[in-house]
Amino acid sequence: MQRDKLILDLGSHSAKIFKKSQEGIKQVDVLTWELLESDVNLPDIEGQLKSLLDHTYVEGLDEGTVEAIGTEAMRRSPHLSEHMQQICKNLHIAYRTISQKEEAELLRRAVAASDIPSDLDVINVGGGSIQIMTRDSEEPYLIPFGISDLNHQFQLLEPPLYRQIATCIKWLSCRLPATLKTFAFTGGERAYLKHFEVELEQDLYCLSSDFNSLARQLAALDLSDLEANSPFDPKWMRGAVASNCIVLAGLIKSGSTKFLPSDLNIAHGLINQL
């Protein structure tokens, strides 16, 4: 019997496990660990990752071929990259830190094999970087900051009164590509909107008016209330306000009245190669 194939996307904001089986590719678990935060405890990382894997296997996942990739947090810190390499070696997992350009290439491959319409731009956001594919350029648009950076710079994890949301959106809109048009937003966005019962036009597109309404509601909530209503693990919502700011900036920059939320991830571009 052919074993399932696994990809561990060890990102700056979260670690995700993806599985490829005869039923297709799907995300099976996620752990938010915020590696770019100043209080990251390196010795805890191995235990967190082992617990994530153990939970997945308990759920019936076959220990098949496993490959792990690290992104911006590991790119910024050779020490963290070496630490992650050793952790994965201890767990008998192949690991490598990839460049942001390779992230964009994996995104391109994932999009090409997906049902995302070819006439859409694509925005992929991580804890420490953003990759954008526009229909007007063959080269990806690479941005060297992400959710964790925005949380810190604009106080987005503080109580609502202190969050600099309008400033963040304006700052972001000045840094997105001038040619941005109607876009898909990847990385679990569809599951996120479905969780909050946002209706999608033709079961595909989120209207900007509906997204603005959700973003305002969430921006008014304390962090504890956000964490209490998460589609994934509670800490995943620590990136929700920042992620919403990126979408809102994209809608402003593109002038579009809608966008396509997608659960696509760079791991989809890698897993078929195993």
Terminal CA-to-CA distance of the chain, rounded, Å?
Answer: 16
Map 99-166 to HEC letters. CHHHHHHHHHHHHHCCCCCCCCEEEEECCCCEEEECCCCCCCEEECCCHHHHHHHCCCCCCHHHCCHH
Over the chain, what is the mean pLDDT? 91
Residues 6+ apart with CB under 8 A from 106: 98, 266, 267, 268, 269, 270
Helix (H) or strand (E) holding 256: none
Higher pLDDT pick, 21 / 15: 15
39-43, 62-66, 139-143, 267-271, range with greatest mean pLDDT: 139-143
Q: Residues 111-167: pLDDT tens digits?
A: 998 999 999 999 999 999 999 999 988 899 999 999 999 999 999 999 999 999 999
Q: Give the pLDDT score at 1.
A: 39
> Which has more pLDDT, 22 or 90?
90
The DSSP code for 205 is B
Q: 171-204, pLDDT tens digit by residue? A: 999 999 999 999 999 999 999 999 999 999 999 9
Tens digits of per-residue pLDDT, 99-115? Answer: 999 999 999 999 998 99
Across the range 219-228, mean pLDDT stands at 97
- Beta strands 5-10 and 66-70 are parallel
202 near 180, Cβ under 8 Å?
Answer: no
User: For position 34, what pLDDT does the model report?
Assistant: 86
Tell me, what's the pLDDT at 204?
Answer: 96
Give residue 43's pLDDT: 79
- Band of the pLDDT at 36, cuts 50, 70, 90? confident
pLDDT at 38: 67
Confirm if 28 and 64 have CB atoms less than 8 A apart: no
Segment 84-89 mean pLDDT: 92
Can you name the residues that pair with 179 across neighbouring β-strands? Answer: none
pLDDT tier at 237, thresholds 50, 70, 90: very high
| pLDDT tens string 45-85 | 888 888 888 877 755 555 557 889 999 999 999 999 999 99
Q: Which domains does the chain have, with CATH numbers?
A: 5-98 (3.30.420.40), 116-266 (3.30.420.150)
pLDDT score of 99: 95
